[in-house]
Amino acid sequence: MIKIVTILGARPQFVKAAVLSRVIKKRGKVEEVIVHTGQHYDANMSALFFSEMEIPAPKYNLNINGLSHGAMTGQMLEKIEAVLLKEKPQAVVVYGDTNSTFAGAMAARKLQIKVVHVEAGLRSFNMEMPEEINRILTDRISDLLLCPTDTAIHNLKTEGFDNLPATVIKCGDIMKDGVQYYSGFSEKKSTVLQDHDLQVDTFVLATIHRQENTDDVEKLKQIFEGLSEIHRDKKVVLPLHPRTKKILEAHQLNYPVILLPPVGYFDMLELLKNCSLVITDSGGLQKEAFFNKKHCIVVREQTEWVELVDKGFAKLVGADAIKMNQVFQQFKGTNADFSMNLFGNEVGGKIYDALLEVLRFE
């Protein structure tokens, strides 16, 4: 039996990893051990979260959170190394761009354990983003780089990966599998629309949480002024991230938008499916908007998902209230063909096959 250790640190990573876990369970040739670093504390990730979403519970929970980048990554390296020495896996699988991603990859590399990076090759080309640093470093020490798009493949080729001892494969975006799988669940499990008296196509869904937006008060003001202006036209519903909430309260900033407490994944899916438009600084939510046939206004200067911008499904506005409202007016009432296949299909199966074939596990 082949053994892999999967390192996860945030709720979106668990949702993505569940896709591969279901394939592993069905095909039966791989044993998976899940490690939760605890990087992002999430009150919605209770035991009920794992059972309702059919996600295997972590074997290890390292409870590392609330620290600086250096302290967090250092503690993760130490504790993940101890797990790997105990479990002795053939490979470590990491997702995305968190500190947990990089720490898992580094701990494995130091022990000469093969590293598999899901969502490899993504670049924002903004080195002020901690996530960008994590992406680049994780890719450089990975043995198998599983890319979601042609753009990701191109990025790695440009960086010289053709000359490195690593295998690069385009497999598609694993999040697409997750959204499709859980869409039916959310309709049965979520009551968020009824709880907040929200009707189909009567509201805009917004999320703001990235450090470059929340830690700059002037940027945050601009963003919320833009949201407030849009709210006069169509109500804006914003599940409030704890970081954003803390800064708004510290500066006594109040804006006429509908603030919700953090919501679970099923609730977020229902908000996505029933809103008219998405405004976000999240990377994952840009794609989930597309999967749910919604245009997206991206409150950043760059995005890793350039395909969405190139094809007109998303637009970058930065922290600019005027530009945000202009793009909202452009998107309002606009129809688009969201059937375009930008991110592949049956990605979990392709990743499973790559694990067995490319890493030559017998």
Amino acid in position 269 = L
Give the Cα separation of 198 and 200 in Å (integer): 7
- pLDDT tier for residue 232 given thresholds of 50, 70 and 90: very high
pLDDT at 43: 64
Q: Is 360 left (phi over 0), alpha (psi -120 to 50) or beta?
A: left
Q: Smallest Cα–Cα separation from 265: which of 281, 237, 251, 285? A: 285
Q: What pLDDT does 44 receive? A: 65
pLDDT over threshold 80, residue 272: yes
Mean local confidence (pLDDT), 25-44: 87
Rounded to an integer, the average pLDDT of 17-33 is 94
Task: Extract the tokens encoding 331.
Answer: 């998107």
**CB 342, CB 307: distance < 8 Å:** yes
Fold match between domain 2-173+344-358 and domain 181-331: yes
Catalytic residues: 209
pLDDT at position 362: 45
The pLDDT value recorded for residue 361 is: 56
Q: Is pLDDT of 154 > 90?
A: yes
CATH domain 2-173+344-358 topology: Rossmann fold (3.40.50)
Cα–Cα distance between 61 and 7 in angstroms, integer? 10
What mean pLDDT do residues 169-181 have?
A: 95
Is pLDDT larger for residue 334 or for residue 220? 220
pLDDT, tens digit (0-9, with 9 covering 90-100), for 74-121: 999 999 999 999 999 999 999 999 999 999 999 999 999 999 999 999
User: Would you call 217 helix, strand, or coil by DSSP?
Assistant: helix
Please state, in angstroms and rounded to a whole number, the distance separating the CA atoms of residues 352 and 26: 11
Mean pLDDT computed over every residue of the chain: 93
Name the residue ranges covered by the structural domains of the chain: 2-173+344-358, 181-331
Q: What is the mean pLDDT of residues 68-79?
A: 96
CA distance linking residue 226 with residue 207, whole number of Å: 13
Q: What is the pLDDT of residue 354?
A: 94
- Please give the pLDDT value at position 104: 98
Q: Is 117 left (phi over 0), alpha (psi -120 to 50) or beta?
A: beta
Tens of pLDDT, residue by residue over 286-345, are: 999 999 999 999 999 999 999 999 999 999 999 999 999 999 999 987 889 999 999 999
Structure-derived torsion over alpha carbons of residues 9, 139, 131, 240, reported in degrees to the nearest 10: -40
DSSP state, residue 48 = H
pLDDT at 198 (0 to 100): 96
Q: Is the pLDDT of residue 55 over 90?
A: no
pLDDT for 227 equals: 97
CATH topology of domain 181-331: Rossmann fold (3.40.50)
18: tokens are: 């569940």
pLDDT value of position 45: 64
Please report the pLDDT score of residue 49 as a whole number: 77
